[in-house]
Structure 1
């Protein structure tokens, strides 16, 4: 005689009633999986283990009992995915061993996959939407916990497949696998066609879960560092999602935070700033940790665009933990000491660990150094430049030789500040950059003095490894003639480039023989050219007598004309297009539908319909 299952029988009756009433929220409350489970669930698990032991026959019988949960409608297709999901749910409760975390994850992922299939039903799928979200959160929590502590499952991976299996798990991590499953649920919600069209306003049906699933998927993608996979998600949202304003504030804030971080990682700082600012403005005042997290990326966006955080912001409760990280950085940018700036954000600096942990270190290093050079050139101009006179036709200018001397002074000063010369050598190399001085890589040891690297020095090991590159048998000159090379002679060390044909002044007298500019002077000219091109400085450069000339300074003065406000300059240029990719806004109320997934189409000045 088969064991009786009174608890399971009553549970199935309750589930059938909830499905009939389409009560998805209460259905999710019934389908619990997280330990510790209540006593009634433990009793049901005992009944499952006694009556339906693991095996094909028991699974078939359990599947048949779950078939009655689906209401039969005339002419309607049966919801076959839901009974299979319920059978997997009971199997999960019966077979799960929470001490084996990897096996638990696999069972949970299979359960969620089947629930997502049930979500795809056009008639009844919306009933399991809360359950999909619940199971997704549990799986994401488990996957992220294992990702932070891989040693918990390392021994299981070794037993299952050895090193090869472990290598494959590193390529597609548990977090990424979870994100792929959650993405499928997101697609089911986004492509739902029940109710009103998405463009008409408030979401209905499964579309209410668009941003719930999107936020969870984005959280997983950021955790595993697969931001490229989010690109298609944002494109799909732009094309098919209802406007973001129709969703709850918690969903809006979370989505705009991840959207801002994604745009920041792609160097789109102006739209990232708009998204993060909106997330910060809409975030509840008491959610201090969330507001601090948003400011962690909003402040760097503003710094890169030339806008430093105010003391008022940093004195707020959510801003106080960030002051110790961003205030010294802003002070270094204002000071203009590019060597101190590089030391502050170097990989081995203790001050850079926090920036690296939050994924903003490289961006700040690459994007803020140009602001440091602008501050440096501005200070040199203040103290050593010609600011112009009322009766003088000569515009304000700054000889770049003074910038060169100031750069060398910074370098010499830095050599005394760095102990044992570990970061900056006192002897500048004759090759490479003169403004970037890094510790010599051990693979290039011996190249710090290129004149000494030749076959007569006895450095056979170095020449044997790099001889074909460092000292070839010959080379072709500019006219195409093959020139034989002396054995062991470094070609690049003795090349004398001629800058005459690249003269910036087209009216210069070609008969004047120009003095060969130093490498450092060439780098300084390049840096100032970049500043002028970006609009962070105004004027023009002369190459024959290297200097920066500032034109149009009679009305405003040399300093504000030659060194305009960085924030105002960048914001004016970037604000010509305030659209944020991935942020769906209501369509324009006049004229044609908005282009690009809800972007507003401005119709100011458009003629009435029918007029040519």
Structure 2
């Protein structure tokens, strides 16, 4: 029977030789699955279809694969490997590349079995290169289908997978692939060969820790399931050898994904450390990789007040980044918060680019406070009191800025952008009674009818409102003040007439506040005080606020000057605060070298015992 399949016989003999010699690299080189396959593989596939047809030939094929591994007491010592080889031959024999969903499922099953073979404590390391190879192929197929879901939409509908209840979270092909790769990562991480922990070396299956981790992280970022990566980083911190003992390509890739993960969790300082290290270790000729790292390293630094230099943006790997980051830098320095918001509005091309990179929300939320700091600084330069330089030896008043000048500058900025008060009055001294005073927001169109009393009063308008919001303002039943259920007459408004009850506080949160009250700050002044208080709390400005006759004062400015004292360097302020704990979660580093041996292990202190007396001597 063996003579009927000469190519398959030779293939099996070669695989048995690789297993006996523990040559995982050559084994992986033999187990090819990506089309187009060479002629020798096509001939072997024809032999498999003729001699071991599906499904009746599967048991006999498995028996032939059992001879590939040593046997102990009549049984195979590595049970999972023959099953994997049988699935490999079945994949070559039965796969239909025209049905991408079936191809994906077969490949995922093949990888699952290979991961099971990887779990063997003695022989599993042989298939580590094959696990990585199959994982890359599976990831490539899954991400390709994720980008073009129309290729398998009809297949999902035919299997009923596309019509599942919306309440059940759909697991994408990419996420399924990440789950399989994570199992391989766990088996590599928990391998007991060598010394575990930060003192250990990459030995056995542990050499694949970061290979599998990087591939799994790539899949998790593709499907947007970053929360699933948290346990991976925690496990690496607890059990992995130091990252520095792995190849540079693995280090750079891992630090890149670690930096992106920390960035997405608003840990910008450790993210900057990880991304900067990835950029420094990346090969200079790997321009696309360095470009990708800069895409996240630059916004990470901008958020902390450090802008990219022109020299950096002119490098080959930074090509195309200046057109996105240079306008952002100018807007932050200029202090025009309205132009900043317009630049990052969802309709702008810059915002769409930042959104595709996953950095838009972080930049919008974190950089606007820097814009306000620049705005306040410019107003102070133009209209603030910088201190009396003529006073010699006398204690004069500290530099200060009247917040009313900030309010006037804010109104002027709005008028410059044609954002007049909502009541249509162009007088900047006229207070507004609706919404935040620092920026105008258009009325939500869904509630436009409720804002217009003339329309609410009309019977036809009442019907239109009930048609839209009837289940809220006129339900069939409701709970009274005592918590008892009450039936409601159809059409009766539970909370009363919206024209009477909702006209005030519900639709206008500032309606009950009288801006003309004596000694009461305006709403705009309150918002400015809140913004400056936030800047002072974060240490981005130094000084104090006074609420009666509102001012921002800068004490202790005589030696250094008002601007350096009241408006310190943002990057230096943040880095000085964050530098106290420079550890990066998820980055395993070698333990610090202890100078002087064990004597310095306790706190690193050296005790001089040259003049010590013997025990018992007084």
* Kept after mapping to 2: 8 A contact 1:52/1:62: yes
* Alignment-derived partner of residue 398 in structure 1: 401
* Alignment-derived partner of residue 314 in structure 2: 315
* Alignment-derived partner of residue 177 in structure 2: 178
* Kept after mapping to 1: 8 A contact 2:199/2:591: no
Label 1:608 to 1:67 Cα distance change in 2 as closer, same or farther (>3 A). farther
Give the unaligned 5+ runs of structure 2.
425-429, 482-495, 613-618
Q: Which moved more, 1:260-269 or 1:314-323?
A: 314-323
TM normalised by structure 1 equals 0.87
Matched, 1:266 2:265: yes
* Paired residues for 1:482-561 under 5 Å: 487-488=500-501, 490-492=503-505, 493=508, 496=512, 514-561=518-565
* Paired residues for 1:373-412 under 5 Å: 373-390=372-389, 391=391, 393-412=396-415
**SS of 1:61's equivalent?**
helix
How far residue 521 of structure 1 moved from its aligned partner, in angstroms, is 1.2
Q: Equivalents in 1 of 2:250, 2:71: separation in Å?
A: 36
Label 1:75 to 1:397 Cα distance change in 2 as closer, same or farther (>3 A). farther
How far residue 73 of structure 1 moved from its aligned partner, in angstroms, is 4.5
* Kept after mapping to 2: 8 A contact 1:454/1:489: no
Label 1:454 to 1:167 Cα distance change in 2 as closer, same or farther (>3 A). closer
* Alignment-derived partner of residue 587 in structure 1: 591
Label 1:489 to 1:328 Cα distance change in 2 as closer, same or farther (>3 A). closer
* Alignment-derived partner of residue 21 in structure 2: 21
Report how many aligned residue pairs link the two structures: 570
* Paired residues for 1:207-218 under 5 Å: 207-218=206-217
Q: Equivalents in 2 of 1:146, 1:443: separation in Å?
A: 38
Query: Any idea what the Cα deviations from partners look like across 1:290-317, whole Å, max 9, x if unmatched?
Result: 0000000000111000000011111110
**SS of 2:198's equivalent?**
helix
* Alignment-derived partner of residue 462 in structure 2: 460
* Alignment-derived partner of residue 372 in structure 1: 371
* Alignment-derived partner of residue 439 in structure 1: 442
* Alignment-derived partner of residue 95 in structure 1: 94
Q: Equivalents in 1 of 2:418, 2:450: separation in Å?
A: 21
How far residue 542 of structure 1 moved from its aligned partner, in angstroms, is 0.9
* Paired residues for 1:134-533 under 5 Å: 134-161=133-160, 163-165=162-164, 171-390=170-389, 391=391, 393-415=396-418, 430-446=433-449, 455=457, 459-460=461-462, 464=466, 487-488=500-501, 490-492=503-505, 493=508, 496=512, 514-533=518-537
* Alignment-derived partner of residue 114 in structure 1: 113
Q: Equivalents in 2 of 1:98, 1:399: separation in Å?
A: 73
* Kept after mapping to 2: 8 A contact 1:157/1:165: no
* Kept after mapping to 1: 8 A contact 2:178/2:219: yes
* Paired residues for 1:590-609 under 5 Å: 590=594, 603-605=603-605
Query: Any idea what the Cα deviations from partners look like across 1:529-567, whole Å, max 9, x if unmatched?
Result: 001111111111111211111111111111111111111
How far residue 441 of structure 1 moved from its aligned partner, in angstroms, is 2.4
Query: Any idea what the Cα deviations from partners look like across 1:384-432, whole Å, max 9, x if unmatched?
Result: 1111103272211111111011111111111179xxx9xxxxx996232
Q: Equivalents in 1 of 2:464, 2:397: separation in Å?
A: 55
Q: Equivalents in 2 of 1:3, 1:562: separation in Å?
A: 89
How far residue 195 of structure 1 moved from its aligned partner, in angstroms, is 2.6
Q: Equivalents in 2 of 1:540, 1:546: separation in Å?
A: 10
Label 1:72 to 1:198 Cα distance change in 2 as closer, same or farther (>3 A). farther
Q: Equivalents in 2 of 1:586, 1:151: separation in Å?
A: 48
Q: Equivalents in 2 of 1:579, 1:217: separation in Å?
A: 23
Label 1:385 to 1:170 Cα distance change in 2 as closer, same or farther (>3 A). same
Query: Any idea what the Cα deviations from partners look like across 1:64-89, whole Å, max 9, x if unmatched?
Result: 00000011257997210000000000
Label 1:374 to 1:104 Cα distance change in 2 as closer, same or farther (>3 A). same
Query: Any idea what the Cα deviations from partners look like across 1:469-510, whole Å, max 9, x if unmatched?
Result: 89x9x99xxxxxxxx9994453414753599xxxxxxxxxxx
Q: Equivalents in 2 of 1:469, 1:585: separation in Å?
A: 61
* Kept after mapping to 2: 8 A contact 1:2/1:51: no
* Kept after mapping to 2: 8 A contact 1:456/1:488: no
How far residue 158 of structure 1 moved from its aligned partner, in angstroms, is 1.3
Q: Which moved more, 1:150-159 or 1:26-35?
A: 150-159
* Alignment-derived partner of residue 45 in structure 1: 45
**SS of 2:68's equivalent?**
coil
Q: Equivalents in 2 of 1:565, 1:278: separation in Å?
A: 23
Query: Any idea what the Cα deviations from partners look like across 1:88-132, whole Å, max 9, x if unmatched?
Result: 000000000111111000000000000000000000000000000
* Kept after mapping to 2: 8 A contact 1:16/1:70: yes
How far residue 587 of structure 1 moved from its aligned partner, in angstroms, is 1.5
* Kept after mapping to 1: 8 A contact 2:181/2:216: yes
* Kept after mapping to 2: 8 A contact 1:404/1:524: yes
Q: Equivalents in 1 of 2:74, 2:566: separation in Å?
A: 77
How far residue 175 of structure 1 moved from its aligned partner, in angstroms, is 0.2
**SS of 2:418's equivalent?**
helix
* Kept after mapping to 1: 8 A contact 2:386/2:400: yes
Label 1:49 to 1:429 Cα distance change in 2 as closer, same or farther (>3 A). farther
Query: Any idea what the Cα deviations from partners look like across 1:168-200, whole Å, max 9, x if unmatched?
Result: 997100000000000000000000001333433
* Alignment-derived partner of residue 11 in structure 1: 11
